């Protein structure tokens, strides 16, 4: 009976050590994550095979696993850069990015867990400075925003292509100009709009005048042609036809034959 405590204590210690060993030898990778294995006695970071995927894994207790978020992430940057004429422009940009899954080991070895601050943020800032520096404030304020956004994305992608990072999209959310410059641009645009509107009214008036001139000329030509075709014989024939039509009506009338000008009838009646 005295031997039981002596046997139980080592057993308890053994169980505790076993549990610690199991705890140190397992890891669970969460949803949207991946693990990079670091072998303490086997060459360091493992880069020759894909990273550890989601789920439960056994790992030697002397090794270590670095867990990375591999889903799309968002990085927002607000910065002040110079336009082509040296004016300070505020740019608010957002980048959607994620690490290249199959190259996660190389990313960890060469860039580390702080790769966003070491690689992605400087790349976006460099691209924004480069692109915005090509344009004037007027171009940045008006129709060039979509073009600028595409150029910033292309410039950033060129930098990140060799950095084990996948760039999905760059969005320019806002471009802020100095208040005086913005007011001057808005005044200029308003004046240009008023000038275009004035030119439109002039053009419309000229077209209306031209239409009226053409219409008047058409009427004059029609009258000229009609007058040329109305000979005395035709007028006399038209008068006779009108007399016959009137004579068939029910209205009371007196017809004097041969008393009108050129011998045409004169019709007298109460209507």
pTM above 0.75?
Answer: no
Tokens found for residue 126: 């460099």
For residues 192-212, give the mean pLDDT. Answer: 77
Residues of the chain above pLDDT 90, percent: 34
Question: Of 245 and 76, which is predicted with more confidence?
Answer: 76
Radius of gyration of the chain (CA): 47
pLDDT confidence of residue 221: 79
pLDDT confidence of residue 259: 47
Tokens found for residue 185: 């641009």
What is the 3 state secondary structure string of the chain? Answer: CCHHHHHHHHHHHHHHHHHHHHHHCEEEECCCEEEEEEECCCCEECCCCCCECCEEEECCCCCEEEEEECCCEEEEEEEEEECCCCCEEEEEEEEEEEECHHHHHHHHHHCCCCHHHHHHHHHHHHHHHHHHCCCCHHHHHCCCHHHHHHHHHHHHHHHHCCCCEEEEEEEEEEEECCHHHHHHHHHHHHHHHHHHHHHHHHHHHHHHHHHHHHHHHHHHHHHHHHHHHCCHHHHHHHHHHHHHHHHCCCCCEEEECCCCHHHCCEEEECC
Taking phi over 0 as left and psi of -120 to 50 as alpha, with beta for the rest, 213 belongs to: alpha
Question: Of 12 and 157, which is predicted with more confidence?
Answer: 157
Task: With a cut of 90, say whether residue 33 has pLDDT above it.
Answer: yes
Q: What rounded mean pLDDT belongs to the chain?
A: 80
What is the per-residue pLDDT across 82-133, written as a single tens digit (0 to 9) for each?
A: 888 888 889 999 999 999 999 999 999 999 999 999 999 999 999 999 999 9
Q: What are the angstrom distances between the C-alpha of 242 and each of 103, 209, 265, 269? A: 103, 40, 10, 14
**pLDDT tier, 195 (very low <50, low <70, confident <90, very high otherwise):** confident
Beta bridge partners of 5: none
What is the per-residue pLDDT across 125-180, written as a single tens digit (0 to 9) for each?
A: 999 999 999 988 878 877 677 888 999 999 999 999 889 999 999 999 888 887 77
What is the per-residue pLDDT across 204-234, written as a single tens digit (0 to 9) for each?
A: 878 888 888 888 888 887 777 767 666 666 6
**Architecture of 73-177 per CATH?**
2-Layer Sandwich (3.30)
**pLDDT tier, 238 (very low <50, low <70, confident <90, very high otherwise):** low
């Amino acid at each position: 009976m005295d031997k039981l405590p002596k046997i139980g204590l080592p057993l308890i210690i053994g169980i505790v050590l076993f549990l610690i060993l199991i705890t140190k030898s397992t890891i669970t990778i969460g949803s949207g994550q991946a693990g990079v294995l670091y072998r303490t006695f086997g060459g360091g970071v493992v880069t020759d095979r894909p990273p550890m995927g989601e789920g439960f894994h056994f790992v030697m207790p002397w090794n270590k696993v670095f867990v990375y978020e591999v889903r799309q992430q968002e990085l927002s940057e607000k910065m002040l850069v110079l336009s082509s004429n040296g004016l300070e422009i505020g740019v608010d940009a957002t980048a959607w990015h994620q690490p290249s899954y199959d190259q996660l080991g190389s990313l960890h070895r060469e860039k580390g867990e702080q790769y966003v601050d070491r690689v992605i943020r400087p790349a976006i800032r460099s691209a924004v400075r480069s692109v915005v520096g090509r344009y004037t404030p007027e171009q940045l304020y008006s129709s060039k925003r979509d073009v600028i956004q595409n150029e910033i994305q292309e410039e950033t992608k060129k930098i990140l292509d060799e950095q084990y990072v996948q760039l999905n999209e760059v969005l320019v959310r806002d471009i802020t100009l100095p208040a005086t410059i913005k007011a001057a641009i808005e005044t200029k645009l308003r004046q240009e709009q008023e000038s275009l509107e004035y030119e439109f009214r002039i053009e419309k008036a000229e077209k209306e005048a031209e239409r009226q001139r053409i219409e008047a000329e058409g009427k004059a030509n029609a009258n000229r042609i009609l007058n040329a075709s109305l000979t005395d014989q035709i007028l006399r024939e038209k008068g006779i036809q009108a007399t016959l039509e009137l004579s068939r009506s029910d209205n009371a009338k007196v017809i004097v034959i041969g008393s009108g000008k050129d011998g045409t009838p004169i019709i007298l009646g109460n209507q």
